[in-house]
Amino acid sequence: MSGDIKEGSAALPSKWPGSGGLQSKSEVVERGHPVWAEIDLAAIRHNVGLLRAAAPGAEVVGVVKGYAYGHGNPASAVAMLEGGATRLGVARVAEALHLREAGIGAPIHVFTEPPPEAAGMMLALELVPTVYTPAFADALSDAAVAAKRVVPVHLKLDTGMHRVGVVADDVSDVVRRLRALPGIDIEGAWSHFAVADVIDHPATRKQLDLFMDLVEEIERGGSVLRYKHIANSAATLSMPESHFDLVRCGVASFGLLPGRDFAGTDLRPALALKARVNMVKRLPAGEALSYGLTYELEHTSGVVTVPAGYADGYDRRLSGTADVLINGARHRVSGSVCMDQFLVDVGRAEVEVGATATLIGADGGDRITAEELADHVGTINYEITTRVPSRVPRLYLNEGPRG
């Protein structure tokens, strides 16, 4: 794309592929996009408001890593802030750079240490670093001293998930080392639950107890922690005692259930994935469809081509198992999903070229959810949305007032 694209409340640099939101379905058609994602920003605002109400004593960190779980940035980030989030969270410095270049000034937490060479960039972007290794802490200190600044950091504690973080036995030594480094202020401490998606799981209580013990140890050593945080979306909705000062909400902000135990929660799915039927045929009984010719027509049927495939994040394992909605009715994906398209046996139904096929989302009184597709594939709902790539344009609906 050339020039700046307007998305949310900020102009986006064209160097970010796929980051520009389209303004209308007609624009989708005019630009030749056969498949697109519709992102309901009002749903994101609603969901963040619900999460904020669930944790009234805490700030909400809107987690927008992974291109906002596939929903797109910075429009999703703007909607979160409009819904009541006060901070944002990402996994990588490049994700934060994207938001800063779009004019977003809210505090941005980076949950994973980048290579030490990126310490200066983190200061330049005024990010909130996570720290858990001496090498990165030293680099951050050097960058802070060079810039004549003090950088507030959040110490990551490993309470049982064992991805990254300081283990319990090392916490006192690490804190002493951090306190001795010039330019470093230990502003917060945090950890992450491994199984909060299962309500009342004993491992979650064990992690919370250890986190509270380690926080007490840190503060007993003389550090005043402005922010303590461990709650993710699931804990925000189910464990008030875990809320502390911040709650970090990603999956639920987008209307995706944090786990099966949360069915019935008033979360509104924000993403729909749609495509325009680009061919319709009548084929006789006995004809077979798609790669491998694994699907055979039992009757003379209408067969439609949907121009979406696994290069659009629509998993090949949905072949022969998932349904799509066309004109409000369910039809089964028929034969193998290809890279850019798949076929659907619609039987006697009348379908015209240009009809909308809904792969995720609602049509009429029915809805296909990310949870439904995840069950077919054997994964989690937010892997389904996160895998929708940048070649699929985002059509943003219900934008808030522009500042």
3-state helix, strand, coil in the chain (%, to 5): 35, 25, 40
HSE-CB at 142 with a 13 A cutoff on CA atoms is 12
Using CB atoms within 10 A of its CB, is residue 112 exposed (0-12), middle (13-18) or buried (19+)? middle
Number of neighbours of residue 294 by Cβ within 10 angstroms: 13
Tokens, residue 95: 């994700």
- Chain CA centroid to CA 331, Å: 28
Number of neighbours of residue 216 by Cβ within 10 angstroms: 10
Using CB atoms within 10 A of its CB, is residue 264 exposed (0-12), middle (13-18) or buried (19+)? exposed
Helix (H, G, I), strand (E, B) or coil at 59: strand
Residues involved in catalysis: 65, 291
CA distance 381 to 371: 5
Answer whether 155's CB lies under 8 Å from 174's CB: yes
Residue whose token pair is 């030594």: 173
- Where helices occur in 190-310 by DSSP H, the ranges are 202-220, 233-238
- Where helices occur in 55-128 by DSSP H, the ranges are 65-69, 75-83, 93-101, 119-124
Ramachandran quadrant class, 117 (left: phi over 0; alpha: psi -120 to 50; beta: rest):
alpha
CA distance 82 to 44: 9
Helix (H, G, I), strand (E, B) or coil at 137: helix
Nearest to residue 165, comparing CAs of 93, 118, 143, 174? Answer: 174
